[in-house]
Amino acid sequence: MSLTPRHDWTLAEVHDLLNRPFSDLIHQAQTIHRACHDPNQVQVSTLLSIKTGGCPEDCAYCPQSAHYQTGLDREKLLDLDAVREAARHAVESGATRFCMGAAWRAPTDRDLDGVVQMIEVVREQGLETCVTLGMLSSEQAKRLSDCGLDYYNHNLDTSPEFYGEIITTRTYRDRLETLQHVRDAGIRVCCGGILGMGESRQDRAGLLVQLATQDPHPESVPINLLIRVPGTPLGETEALDPLEFVRTIAAARITMPYSMVRLSAGREDMTDELQALCFVAGANSIFYGEILLTTPNPDTARDQALFSRLGLTAQPNSSPAS
Ligand code: SAM
Ligand code: DTB
Ligand code: SF4
C-alpha cells in the first residue's frame, strides 16, 4: 500500500478521528504506520540545552521563562568544547540526531555566530543536527541552512484558539512565519505541540489540523506531554487521561503518515505499557538521554530495557552530515 499524504484535513474530520472507538483508531493508525515505516524501528534524538533560563517569553508551561520562579539558574551560552563532548557522548549512546535548544525569544545575529560553530562541531561527529532558538528571520534561516543545519524545531504548541491562554508574548502568526522562513530556506521542519495543558479534545484536533494542512507536512512531529513544573502557571494542572495522549499520537500518525512522530517530553512519568501503546499508535521517535533540556527523562538503562522488551531497534543514521 502506498499512501498519498493529504493536506486538506478539516477540524471535523480530525475531531471525528479522535472520537473513534479506541481499537478502531489504533488499528487504523497501526495499519498506516506499517505501510509507511518499519514498525519496529525508532529514531533516537538527544537534546542539549546550550543556553538555559532567563527567557523573556511567558510560555505558561516553561521552567525557563524569566516570568516564573522555578529555581532554575540563568546560564550563559555553552562553550564549544562542552557541545563537542556532549555530541561525542550522543554518538556513543546510539543517537542519530542532536538537538540544541536555547531559551531565547529570538537569536541575535551574534548569537547565531556561536550556534553556527556548534552546528559545525556536531556535524563533524556525523550526527544529524537540529536547533530550536525561537523566532527566526528569513536571513537567519538562510544562514542556518548554509551551515548545513538539517532540522529546525519550532512548535505550534496547541490550537490557535487555546494558544492565548498559554502564551501572550508571541503570536500564533509569529510562529507560522518562522516555520515558513525555515521551509523557504530548505531546512527540514520539526514542529509539534504539548498535550495536557488543560486544552480540550477539540483543541488537540485543532493543533493536528494546523500541522497536517502544512504542505509538506513537518518531517518531525514532537508530541510532548506537559511536564508540570512547580512555579509555572501550569504546575498544578490536572493530569491528562493517558489514553487521550495515545489517541492524539494515533491521529497524528493517520493525518501525517510519513512524518516521524516523536514521543517527546513526559516519558519519565509514563509506564512502559503506556509507551508501548504510543509505539503501537504510530510513534517512531524519542528523546534519549537522562535530561531533556532542564527536566528529567528516563535513564538510558530503562530505555534500553524498554526497547528490548518491545523488540525495538534504533534507526540507523539516514543522512550522514559530513
Ligand atoms: N525558546 C525556544 C522556543 O520556545 O521556540 C526553544 C526552546 S523551547 C523549551 C522548546 C519546546 O519545548 C517548546 O516549544 C515546548 O513545546 C517544549 N516544552 C517546554 N517546556 C515544556 C514542558 N514543561 N512540558 C512539555 N514540553 C515543554
Ligand atoms: C520538543 O518538542 N520538546 C523538546 C524539544 N522539542 C526541544 C523540549 C522539551 C522540554 C521539556 C522541558 C525541559 O526539559 O526544560
Ligand atoms: Fe522561552 Fe522557549 Fe521556554 Fe517559551 S518555551 S519561555 S520561548 S525557552
pLDDT, mean of residues 265-279: 97
State the cell numbers at 39.
514498525
Average pLDDT, the chain: 96
Q: What is the pLDDT of residues 10-32, one digit of tens each?
A: 999 999 999 999 999 999 999 99
Is residue 170 among the annotated active site residues? no
First to last CA, the chain: 34
Other Cβ atoms closer than 10 A to 113:
11
Is residue 191 among the annotated active site residues? no
- In this prediction, residue 163 carries a pLDDT of 98
Strand ranges (DSSP E) for the chain? 41-51, 97-102, 128-132, 151-153, 188-190, 193-195, 220-225, 260-263, 285-287, 313-314
d(CA 154, CA 130): 10
| Residue minimizing CA distance to atom 1 of ligand 1 | 103
CA–chain centroid gap for 40, Å, is 20
What one-letter code names the amino acid at 132? T
Q: How far is CA 64 from CA 68, 111, 131, 279, in A?
A: 8, 18, 17, 29
Q: Are 113 and 147 in contact (CB under 8 A)?
A: no
Looking at 5-14, 71-80, 221-230, 275-284, which range is the least confident one?
Answer: 71-80
**C-alpha dihedral over 259, 57, 68, 297, to 10 degrees?**
20
| Residue minimizing CA distance to atom 4 of ligand 3 | 59
**Omega within 30 of 0 (cis) for the link into 320:** no
State the cell numbers at 54.
532567563
Q: Which atom of ligand 2 is nearest to the CA of 222?
A: 2
Q: What is the pLDDT of residues 60-71, one digit of tens each?
A: 999 999 999 999
d(CA 134, CA 64): 13
d(CA 45, CA 93): 10
d(CA 76, CA 84): 17
pTM (2 d.p.): 0.96
pLDDT at 39 over 60: yes
Is residue 36 among the annotated active site residues? no
Q: What is the pLDDT of residues 287-319, one digit of tens each?
A: 999 999 999 999 999 999 999 999 999 988 764
**Of the residues 36, 130, 191, 278, which is catalytic?**
130
Dist. CA 27 → ligand 1 center (Å):
31
pLDDT at 282 over 80: yes
d(CA 219, CA 165): 27
| Matching residue, cell 471525528 | 16
- In this prediction, residue 1 carries a pLDDT of 60
Is residue 190 among the annotated active site residues? yes
Dist. CA 59 → ligand 3 center (Å):
6
What one-letter code names the amino acid at 267? R
Q: Are 117 and 80 in contact (CB under 8 A)?
A: yes
Q: Which ligand sits nearest to residue 132's alpha carbon? A: 1
Dist. CA 21 → ligand 2 center (Å):
31
d(CA 301, CA 265): 18
**Of the residues 97, 170, 175, 262, which is catalytic?**
262
- In this prediction, residue 94 carries a pLDDT of 86
Q: Which ligand sits nearest to residue 169's alpha carbon? A: 3
Is residue 262 among the annotated active site residues? yes
Band (194; pLDDT cuts 50, 70, 90): very high
Q: What is the pLDDT of residues 130-153, one digit of tens each?
A: 999 999 999 999 999 999 999 999
